[in-house]
Chain A
Amino acid sequence: MTSAVYPPAVPMRARDHTESTLSRVIPDESELTAGITIRPGRTYGFFTDTSLCIGCKACEVACKEWNALPAQQIGLTANSYDHTRELSAITWRHVTFIEQIEDNPGCRANRLKPFQSHWLMMSDVCKHCKQAGCLDACPTGALFRTEFGTVVVQQDICNGCAYCVPACPFGVVEINFSDGKAHKCTLCYDRLKGGFEPACAKSCPTNSIQFGEVDVLLTRAARRVEKLHALGVDNAYLYGAPGTAGATGGIQQLYCFFLLLDRPEVYNLPVAPQLPSGRVAKSLGTGLAAVAGLGALAAVLMTQQSKAPRPGRKR
């Protein structure tokens, strides 16, 4: 055991292993953990299969560990087992706990369905939209599209204008008031560059969060939906895949898409989100047309006044 003196900010468990037991970083580690080789120029994302989620929150913890994010809040929300409430500037993975107990509504349940089938759980994350509202809205270029197809905020560019916040149709990106910058999931951009699978997907014990190339994931997801339908789960569907709910209003596709078992609103997802930036030209055009009309009116009024001088007019 080392006898080095650490600053108080370094937690006890981090002091136990100060050096890696490996002699070097494993090259292309994702081949071992996710079965894919990460290469720039390809598009990567998540397929989150909520039929497999058990609500262990390993993804939340892994995300906070890798990205050094603090705890969201200390306290009980009374929202089932969900005490992080929502995605935020310091919570980039959030597990929703949806209790579907129809018996004795509003009170403690008397009878529960077997096999915990009254639970829906989903690990929510930034969707890394193909057409991203936050990316279109950012006036500084702090938000950019990476070589892996994901959307990332550069905190050294961001000036905290916060216009990306209302532009996101999923409520993902948020300002951190302690540093005055926008923050959101990076899909572990640093790990991808090093050939590592994102921390949340790597930590998922049930493979509910699957990482990979988006096209491969879409094929896999379609097969999974077919399989669930064959098993009698008729309410399984994809959210965010091209042509499905969630990929509407100009968004086209969510690179992090979901297999859901109930209506999107139940998971706090909109059925038909809109990409706001698709209407900028039309909106500004109508405003400019109104200005032009009033400017022309002003010219006419002033011409009339020039032609017909009134008493009291002086030049």
Chain B
Amino acid sequence: MQRAKMTTYRNEARREIYPAPAAPLPAALPGYAGHGYYDLTPIKHSHYKWNTALAFLSTQIAGGSQIIATVADLRGQNRRMVRAGRYLAVAGGMNSAAILIAALHTPRRWYNMLRIFKKSSPMSIGIWSISPFTFFSGLAAAGQVAADIGYTRSGNWAGRAFSLPAALLGSVAIAYMGTELEETNMPAWASAYPLMAPLYACAGVSNAAAALLLFPMHNGTCGATTASIKKLAFVSGAAELALGAVLDGHWRRSAEASAIAQSRYEPWYRIGFLGIGMLGSLALRLWDRFDTNRSRVSNAASVLKLAGAMVQQTVLVYAGQESGRRARDYFAYTREPKIGNNAEHADQPADHAKKSAGSAGKDRATRTLPKARRSSSRSAVAWGLFACGALLISAAVLRKKESSR
């Protein structure tokens, strides 16, 4: 009886999601003065730290490696690369699971996450993707071991059978992390919707490709596979760079992400991740010309990419945490239309009226937006010029190298 009541209650609640916009605040109220209660933040910040960033990177490499290895296996590519991908997947999966368990505040109860599945919780989705991913990756790696010690046919068959579900779960594992950050109330993360999940997905593939290219077994023995992975690393890296640059522009022009755009994290994100990690590694990949052999240039590109990825994860985790400490960022985030039918918020008519009237009382967030937009345009142009310059220099170097041959 009680269960039936609760089910009815839950269904009723679900049906009414996203109701009509809120009623306007009374006209007698003054406009937003740009500050809250003694500048104390109205929300609690996230408790993620560097170990979460490391776990994210490890999951990306693991998930991406399994996907690449599975595709390579299905396309009949070199077995050494498939082997490397499978071993890297299981090692990365176990590593990230161990780090994430250690990051809990009560680690001995980690298994409580496996007692239920919630599609409304990105963390639940993450746990239910990483755990079976690691399990199936372990079985696929065991099949690979069997193949390596002489049971070639049965080992390869088992490896392929278990790597297919592992690759599917790995896809969820590398995409859910962006969702996990986005679906919170940390202004810098939440305002990045819907770019964070594709960014993490691209990063997963490009980081895994970079990690696989560092394995010594490619040298001369699986040239065609190496070349195709280099191309994959380049394309996925370019997509990641584009998404990262778009996010950078968004954060700079919005009033919700001062923790990234106007803090000590900004140079790390722009120079460390976008500049050295992404543009640097992409330029080196061009220089390498997707050669069939492993080379120092390719290795340098991979190292730069992975170092930039660690910087990216760390900056995103800490900047998101910092944004939770900034009351103005949160008030800016909760004053703008975001999703569903809540496109118009209570105080917008009053604010717009004040803005058009140009009254002295208009709020700080709306007053700074045009300047931020101008700055963002300049930033986009600067980034575009920088990218074009880097590509032109790379092309010139390539041509010179070609002519010298």
Binding site for B on A (CB under 8 A): 40-41, 77, 79-80, 82, 85-86, 96, 98, 130-131, 133, 136-142, 145, 147, 149, 157-163, 165-175, 177, 179-181, 234-237, 242-250, 252, 262-274, 276-284, 286-292, 294-295, 297-299, 301-306, 309-315
Closest 6 CB pairs of A and B: A160-B105, A287-B175, A287-B197, A180-B105, A270-B334, A268-B37
Q: Does B360 contact A (CB under 8 A)?
A: no
Contacts of A98 in B (CB 8 A): 37
Chain A nearest CB: distance from B155 CB in Å? 17
Number of interface residues of B (CB under 8 A): 117
Q: Does B392 contact A (CB under 8 A)?
A: no
Q: Is the CB of A145 within 8 A of B6?
A: yes
A160 to B40, CA, bound (A): 24
Q: Does B376 contact A (CB under 8 A)?
A: no
Q: Is the CB of A302 within 8 A of B77?
A: yes
A247-B22 contact, Cβ under 8 Å, with A298-B67, A313-B222: yes
A249-B339 contact, Cβ under 8 Å, with A140-B112, A272-B334, A295-B71: yes
Interface mask (B205-245 → A, CB under 8 Å = 1, otherwise 0): 10000000000000011111101100110011001000000
A141 to B46, CA, bound (A): 19
Residue of A nearest to B232 (CB): A298
A170 to B107, CA, bound (A): 27
Q: Does B23 contact A (CB under 8 A)?
A: yes
A32 to B44, CA, bound (A): 38
Residue of B nearest to A312 (CB): B223
Ordered by A's residue number, 19 sampled pairs between the chains whose C-beta atoms are within 8 Å are A137-B184, A139-B127, A140-B112, A145-B6, A161-B123, A168-B185, A171-B42, A271-B345, A272-B22, A280-B179, A283-B194, A284-B172, A284-B197, A287-B197, A290-B175, A291-B67, A294-B232, A305-B227, A314-B220
Q: Does B331 contact A (CB under 8 A)?
A: yes
A233 to B208, CA, bound (A): 63
Chain B nearest CB: distance from A292 CB in Å? 7
Q: Does B308 contact A (CB under 8 A)?
A: no
Which of A141, A166, A288 is B116 in contact with, Cβ under 8 Å?
Answer: A141
Q: B11-19, B88-96, B270-278, B280-288: which lies at the A interface?
A: B11-19
Chain B nearest CB: distance from A261 CB in Å? 9
Interface of chain B residues 296 through 329 with chain A (CB within 8 A): 324, 327
A194 to B105, CA, bound (A): 32
Known: A161-B104, A270-B335. 15 other contacts (CB 8 A): A79-B40, A133-B185, A138-B118, A145-B6, A158-B109, A245-B347, A248-B22, A263-B30, A266-B36, A269-B42, A280-B122, A280-B125, A283-B122, A288-B175, A306-B77
Q: Is the CB of B179 within 8 A of A287?
A: yes
Residue of A nearest to B31 (CB): A263
Contacts of A290 in B (CB 8 A): 175, 197-198, 201-202, 239
Q: Does B378 contact A (CB under 8 A)?
A: no
Residue of A nearest to B20 (CB): A243
Chain B nearest CB: distance from A279 CB in Å? 6
Q: Is the CB of A136 within 8 A of B190?
A: no
Residue of A nearest to B37 (CB): A268
Residue of B nearest to A285 (CB): B197
A131 to B214, CA, bound (A): 48
Q: Is the CB of B121 within 8 A of A270?
A: no
A278 to B338, CA, bound (A): 11
**Which of B42, B227, B292, B338 is most buried by chain A, counting CB atoms within 10 A of its CB?**
B42
Chain B nearest CB: distance from A299 CB in Å? 5
Q: Is the CB of B123 within 8 A of A137?
A: yes
Contacts of A161 in B (CB 8 A): 104-105, 113, 123
Q: Is the CB of B18 within 8 A of A250?
A: yes
Chain A nearest CB: distance from B152 CB in Å? 14
Q: Does B200 contact A (CB under 8 A)?
A: yes
